[in-house]
Amino acid sequence: MGERTIIPFGPQHPVLPEPLHLDLILEDEKVVGAVPSIGFVHRGLEKLVEKRDFHEMMYVIERVCGICSFIHGQGYVQTIEGIFGLEIPDRAKFLRTIWAELSRVHSHLLWLGLMADAYGFESLFMHCWRVREKVLDIFEETTGGRVIFSVCKVGGVWKDIDNETLKRIVEVLNVVEQESKALTDVFIKDFTVQKRTRGVGVLSYQDAIDVGAVGPTLRGSGVAMDLRKLGYAAYGELNFEPIVEKDGDCYARTIVRVRELYQSIDLIRQCVSKIPDGEIEVKVKGNPKGEYVSRLEQPRGQVVYYGRANGTKYLERFRVRTPTFANIPALLKMLPGADLADVPLLALTIDPCISCTER
Amino acid sequence: MAEVQTFHPVTGSEIVNTAKNMLKEGYRLIQICCTKTPTEMDIIYTFEKLNLQCENFKLPVNVGDTLPSISGVFFAAFLYENEIHDLYGVNFTGMAVDFKGTLYETAVKQAFSMTGAENKE
Amino acid sequence: MAFNVIGKTVMKSLFGKPATAMYPVIKNEFYPNTRGNIEVAIDKCNFCGLCSRRCPAGAIEVSKPDKKWEIDRTRCIVCNFCVQVCARDSLSTQRHYTVPMTDKSKRISTSYGQTVQEDA
């Protein structure tokens, strides 16, 4: 029984440039407890909803996060459409799905790069981001922005992708898939990587459910839960199954993301082959009145939006519950029993995005 | 899309028992959200099953009220409750981890308890 | 097998083209859709002020009596919303980005119209 020490972890660049702070309670080298603190970058974007009308707010909500910006925008417009009871055209649904899945590809590649960086595979990190660059180029070509797309609108999308470009996207993705195969083999098979990740930070099936983990963290513990199965946007017409790994350790969470990367590419191929022609937006008349909870699957996990409108052009409340917010308790469950040296890796496997957690 | 969502009413004294019932039925907590409008204020608890079925509970509340925490039932609730405490000034008793108002250190205390309409004067 | 993978990567890195762009020598080509900055065709504009009311960042100032249309480049988030709401199609998104600046205290804004007031 050693002496207890408290070591502060973060908030200055813990493993990734996000202000996550943990007070780690250590007994010798083992973590026995942790207290998180967030709140370093609280921006109060949710409050802005009272001063911007509901069309403008789309552009603000997108800026909650720089990685899943598209899905934040999509969630916002889905909430407003839910309040209106609006049905958007099929082509708009498919376009949204394509952009959302492209976001997942780029987010997972980004995360894999950071993961490689966390265990010191510097060049693997750069290779991951080199491949990701191709996806960002697709974004710039189709939406005009590399990070913030601003293509969603209440009632549809602003921009169409013509069928030629869609075909070219699939061709680019074939290259992306081929190039990532060589990279992801390292994450799956490399001896050193497995030494660092296997059996570290195990989150059991029951714990994952109890603490409310979401996304790859949850699926890495063997729970087959994927919000895309709700069938929002065009997911109802696509053929896919949630990706599940049983072990619940860092390795399992990595593998879930690796497999989701290929699943997303496959989903985009399905979208391109099934996308119907037609309108991309419907006219929105009047102001929303009512309340609505909408749930979506982001690359990091489930995201929950709540909107309330009172019939004026300003919403009364819009709330974003981001995946990291739900995964912080899961992180606290994983940490006890881990070595101090594994803490950065563990913190990274929930894919924390603190700026979007605090909004 | 656009299914009708119901918000079951619930009171402050019932909320812990409601949470226990939801846990028994296999639900898990996915969010607690506080809303303040010029006329009313309430807290929404959203629970979700593994088959993606979702239930909402609405609890009317006022600034300065004290509610029992449900973090004994759902551990994850402590973050939401601290957030509501810091931004809306609703107190919770028995939180699993109590930050005592230091989760969000805003320049204006209870920044969200003022609505835009009231702020404008 | 592992040797094959690493060997391929090494060969590619040694003899392949660099992954990065040779930036100052070869300028990056933007796509037709790229949102760089907002420009106004001032002769088409009737100074209705719709763009300034709809701007989420509050970057646009329009004054009807002065016939002035002004945009603050440091505030503008190039979301394209003003372009989409403009009833007379006088606004457009250009491909080039706003030039970088070293001093934020001077407002970098561009004015159009009869009374031209350049702040910077």
Residue A76 pLDDT exceeds 70: yes
State what percent of residues in chain C have pLDDT above 70: 82
ipTM for this model: 0.82
pLDDT digits (tens, 9 = 90+) for A88-122: 888 888 888 999 899 999 899 999 888 888 888 88
Residue C53 burial by Cβ neighbours in a 10 Å radius (0-12, 13-18, 19+): middle
Q: In what order do the strands lie in the sheet with B54-60?
A: B7-9, B54-60, B41-49, B27-36
Cα dist from C89 to A130, C49, C86, whole Å: 38, 13, 6
Residues of C within 8 A of A121 (CB-CB) are none
Number of H helices, E strands in chain A: 12, 8
CA A61-A66-A71 angle, to 5 degrees, is 55
Q: How confident is the model at residue C120 (pLDDT cuts 50, 70, 90)?
A: very low
| Contact pairs from chain A to chain C, CB under 8 Å | 48
pLDDT reading at B120 higher than 60: no
Which one is the CATH code of C30-98+107-112: 3.30.70.3270, 3.40.50.10320, 3.40.1260.10, 3.40.190.10? 3.30.70.3270
**Could you read off the pLDDT of B99-114 as tens digits, one per residue?**
777 777 777 777 777 7
pLDDT the model gives residue A294: 87
Residues in B touching A291 (Cβ below 8 Å)? 5, 7
Question: What's the DSSP call for residue A310?
Answer: E
Nearest CA in chain A to C57: A60
Domain extents for chain B? 7-111
Q: Nearest Cα to A233, choosing from A298, A145, A137? A: A298
* Contact indicator for A315, A308 with CB cutoff of 8 Å: yes
Indicate the angle between helix axes A250-274 and A90-118, nearest 10 degrees.
150
Q: Enumerate the domain spans of chain A.
A: 42-336
For chain C, the structural domain boundaries read: 30-98+107-112
Alpha carbons B75 and B81: distance in angstroms, whole number: 11
Under DSSP, the state recorded for A53 is B
- Does residue B36 sit at the A interface (CB-CB below 8 Å)? yes
Query: CATH for A42-336?
Result: 1.10.645.10
Q: What does the pLDDT read at residue C105?
A: 64
* Closest CA relative to residue A18, chosen from A331, A341, A239: A331
Mean of pLDDT over chain B: 79
Residue numbers of A between 40 and 59 with CB closer than 8 Å to B: 42, 44, 46-47, 50-51
Of C9, C30, C84, the CB nearest to A158: C84
